[in-house]
Structure 1
Amino acid sequence: MAAVRSLLARLSKYSGLSEERLRHTEIEPAALLELLVVRRHAERTGGSAEAAVLAVVREVAQWLTPTDRLIIDAALCLGLWRDRSDVGVDLERLYADNLGERREALTEQWIALHAHLDVDPAPETPTVKRLRTALEHAAFTALAGLLAAESGYPTAQPTVAAPTVPPAQRGVVTVFGDAVIDHIYRVDDFPTPASPASGRFTDRPGGKGLNRAVAAARLGINVHLVCAVGGDEYGRRIHEFLEAQRVHLDLVKMVPSAPSLVTAVVLAPNGEFQMISCRDTRMQLQEEDLHRPELRAALESSDVVILTFEQPPAVIEQVLSTVSQLHPKPTVIVCPSPSMVAPQGLYQYLGTVDYLVGTTTELAALLPDAFAASADDVVRLLRRLGIGSVCTVENFRCVVASDTVNTIVDHFPHVLRAAVGAAAAFTGALAYRLVNSRTALTADDYVWAAAAMILTQHLGTFATTVPGIEEIDRIVDLFAPPS
């Protein structure tokens, strides 16, 4: 770490860090070029080690504290603000060729830059001398620590292992969806205009994408989550949570200077809940994100792709189009959303969808202009559009309609009406059976997936309620219908 810190500090002189500087500097750059995260990035992208250094440093810098991030950005001339047209600061001076001028510009715009990072109040504005000595040393120490420790790099590959799953059974699942912070309000009853509610508040990582990724990872599957998080404390919490749950982080996009998404969840004692989702276009995946070589490699190695409808329609269409062209094509599970707007453009890709998993309301939202007299009509219309299997999942009950299986799983007793994360547990368990099945799924596979929902009734954090293999097996055995 000391060697990396010293090298970065020396490279900050003059015009800062660049590929050209690394290739032609009189300073020996081996301490950076030989970092594990740099070599992995170069291998994944097929680029040079010098290009990988710049990309890795720019990305890792986003995970520093706001003040350290600003100092590193100016010192190394990383240009993290260049794509922001609304900053309102002098970027030419902040990224000048001379380090001294960059330091002066940073101190002069200290308050404004911190405000753009939602730091209020900002730390006391330092003198250039204090910036040059104590503050830069501390910031370079923090950056070097993240670079030297594999776990500090968002695209590092954590080891995925589950003692209960033999290596031969482990597969690969790629999940597209949101990762948010859930603000959870546990109330005695839902509020009304005449009766405000009282309750307790907590928050935790959540989101359709994150919950399904964690559910699959808990069952021993190698899971990649494709999502965007903000460059704030919530974003770091989401990152740390995913890492702790052994979800790969290489496709988690960090958006600098943007807040992570927050969802309000009002939770009643019987498990029913109401939600308010806050959207922000800055936190959506863009079409260019889908062309990353790391994503292509993940899709090509995937046994299953899980796609939630939380991203823009153009991104959803591009994912389905890309997956449809893969040989062999991974199994596709789609989890729709009732807030999906104008889904008709997706109809041409529905033949790519092997499993559609959602509530009655979510499934009906896919057919906004079609007349359907019943939930069964909705399912028949969706299957007519090319979807292989439709799973209607709500209130711990599962109804399956496909060419080979038509069944209703409704024999598991439950004490609540609903549970946050139940659908995610079902989808994760379904992905596990798909990964480990050598034949087409049978009714028993859907029973096993439905059993995963029962354990989410504990109403704790999703990380503690999402079940493992042995727990699901126990529920299946405990409530097996009499023969």
Structure 2
Amino acid sequence: MGIVIIGSLNMDMVVRTSRAPEAGETLFGQAFALSPGGKGANQAAAAARLGAEVTMIGRVGKDGFGRELLEVMRQEGVHTDYIGQSETQATGVASIVVDEEGENRIIVVPGANLEMGREDIAALEPVIRQAEMVVMQLETDLSMCEQAASMAHSHGIPVILNPAPARVLTDELLQHVAYLTPNETEAGILAGMAVNSIADAEQAARLLLQKGVENIIVTLGSKGALIVNHAGSRHIPGFPVQAVDTVAAGDSFNGALAYQLTSGKTLTEAVRFANAVGALAVGKQGAIPSLPQLAEVEQFLKESARP
């Protein structure tokens, strides 16, 4: 079964502008595009492009956006048998403003993504039981995520939880997570403190370790990522690149991390590889369109290792 990704599928509505508008202000934008996305779909496509066998669990509406997302997933080689179609809810959408620095501001309307609940995931226990790894985010129903993590944990299946968008999580959920992958903001929210430095990120991660998470990987943007577990902490530097669009940076990292860990790599190796995938993703526009192929990542790593 390979990697099972439980998560969101959205149609991204992307506006590019010089800067984000202030309250009550109207600006002219430079471009607009519809782009298939959603954190779950992005992570599924990222892992599949690298060569992983990926099965996606999620839900779309019976509308044009839903049909397009299903087709994109199939084209990316993701198994779509467990992506349902809602009879009443529209496909999720995300409104994204990208400024000239490549930074983004996102509003998500989940739609059909929130329709999948505990009963639906319970019916898919045979799928989860066969997985090598389960990957989740938080653009879907939280109680469903809690049940899925518990189910995977009970069968000895490691869980990657990308806690985005950030929200308060129970200790019970965190105790079922093998790899928690917050960014600096999310780590701060989860730990109840401000995170403004790598030292802060380590302190927040250690607080989360006390809640039962096995490994915390705090993503630090261009600074790379910080691994914290009971064996210690290690900063894995990032790769300097010119950011064009950061929309799928975290999602590409998580898809790559899952691919590497299920390929038998150490956590340090997996995080360095995932940093490279994230760096390549921010160099292109769009979410799924920006995700690199394996050969591109390997070439990038080879060139980055040269003196």
TM over 0.5: yes
User: For structure 2, which runs of at least 5 residues remain unmatched after alignment?
Assistant: none
Structure 1 segment 18-57 matched on structure 2, within 5 A: none
> Equivalent residue for 1:230?
61
Aligned position for 2:117: 286
Encode CA deviations 1:211-238: one digit per residue, 9 max, x unaligned: 0011011111111111111111111111
Question: Relative to 1, partners in 2 of residues 1:332 and 1:227: Cα closer, same or farther, differing over 3 Å?
Answer: same
Q: Does 1:413 align with 2:237?
A: no
In the TM superposition, residue 436 of structure 1 has moved relative to its aligned partner by 1.1
Q: Are residues 477 and 196 of structure 1, via their aligned partners in 2, closer, same or farther at CA, if it must alter by over 3 Å?
A: same
1:331 & 1:279 partners in 2: Cα distance? Answer: 26
Larger Rg: 1
Given the superposition, is the C-alpha separation of residues 371 and 192 from structure 1 closer, same or farther in structure 2, using an over 3 Å criterion? closer
CA shift, 1:180, in A, is 0.6
The question of whether the paired residues in 2 share the 8 Å contact of 1:188 and 1:268 is answered with yes
Aligned mates of 2:142, 2:244 — CA distance in 1:
32
- Does the CA contact (< 8 Å) of 2:93 and 2:111 recur in 1? no
The equivalent of 1:334 in structure 2 is 161
Query: Map of 1:83-232 to 2, 5 A cutoff?
Result: 172-193=2-23, 196-199=26-29, 200-232=31-63
Q: Aligned to 1:365, what secondary structure does the other structure show? A: helix
Query: 1:244 aligned to 2:75?
Result: yes
1:197 and 1:232 mapped to 2: Cα distance? Answer: 31
Deviation at 1:399, TM superposition (A): 1.4
Per the alignment, residue 274 of structure 1 pairs with 105
- The aligned counterpart of 2:182 is 358
Which structure has the highest helix share of the two?
1
Alignment of 1:53-92 (within 5 A): none
* Residues 258/349 of structure 1: CA separation in 2 closer, same or farther (3 Å cut): closer
1:306 to 125, 130, 135: 135
> Would the alpha carbon gap of residues 313 and 442 (structure 1) be closer, same or farther in structure 2, given more than 3 Å must change?
closer
Secondary structure at 1:473 match in 2: helix
Structure-1 separation of matches of 2:19 and 2:33: 17
Cα distance between partner residues in 2 of 1:258 and 1:372: 37
User: Using the alignment, how far apart are the partners of 1:262 and 1:442 within structure 2?
Assistant: 33
The corresponding residue for 2:84 is 253
Q: What is the CA deviation profile of residues 137-186 of structure 1, one whole-angstrom value per residue up to 9, with x for unaligned ones?
A: xxxxxxxxxxxxxxxxxxxxxxxxxxxxxxxxxx6001111101110001
Q: Is the 8 A contact 2:96 2:107 kept in 1?
A: yes
- Contact 2:238–2:275 (CA<8 Å) still a contact in 1? no
Shift, 1:403, TM fit: 3.4
Partner in structure 1 of residue 202 of structure 2 = 376
Q: Number of paired residues?
A: 302
Q: For 2:113 and 2:270, how far apart are their aligned partners in 1?
A: 39
Displacement, 1:471?
1.2
Q: Which has the higher contact order (CA 8 A, sep 6+)?
A: 2
Q: Secondary structure at the match of 2:79?
A: coil
1:405–1:219: structure 2 CA closer, same or farther, 3 Å change rule?
A: farther
Per-residue deviation, residues 76-95 of structure 1 (Å, max 9, x unmatched): xxxxxxxxxxxxxxxxxxxx
Segments of 4+ moved more than 4 angstroms? 370-373
Look up the match of 2:300.
475
Inter-partner Cα distance in structure 2 for 1:471 and 1:372: 33
Alignment partner of 2:208: what SS? helix
Partner of 1:461: 286
Q: Secondary structure at the match of 2:95?
A: strand
1:162 corresponds to: none
Contact 1:394 1:423 in 2 (8 A): no
Aligned-pair identity (%): 25
**In the alignment, which residue of structure 2 is the partner of 1:13?**
none
Equivalent residue number for residue 148 of structure 1: none
Give 1:411 deviation, angstroms. 4.5
Instruction: Give the partner amino acid of 1:241.
Output: V
Which letter maps to 1:192? E
- Give unmatched runs, 5+ long, in structure 1: 1-170
Structure 2 contact 42–248 (Cα < 8 Å) conserved: yes
More strand by share: 2
Deviation of 1:282 after TM superposition, in Å, equals: 7.3
Separation of aligned partners in 1, 2:245 and 2:208: 25
When the two chains are superposed, the root-mean-square deviation of aligned CA atoms in Å is 2.3
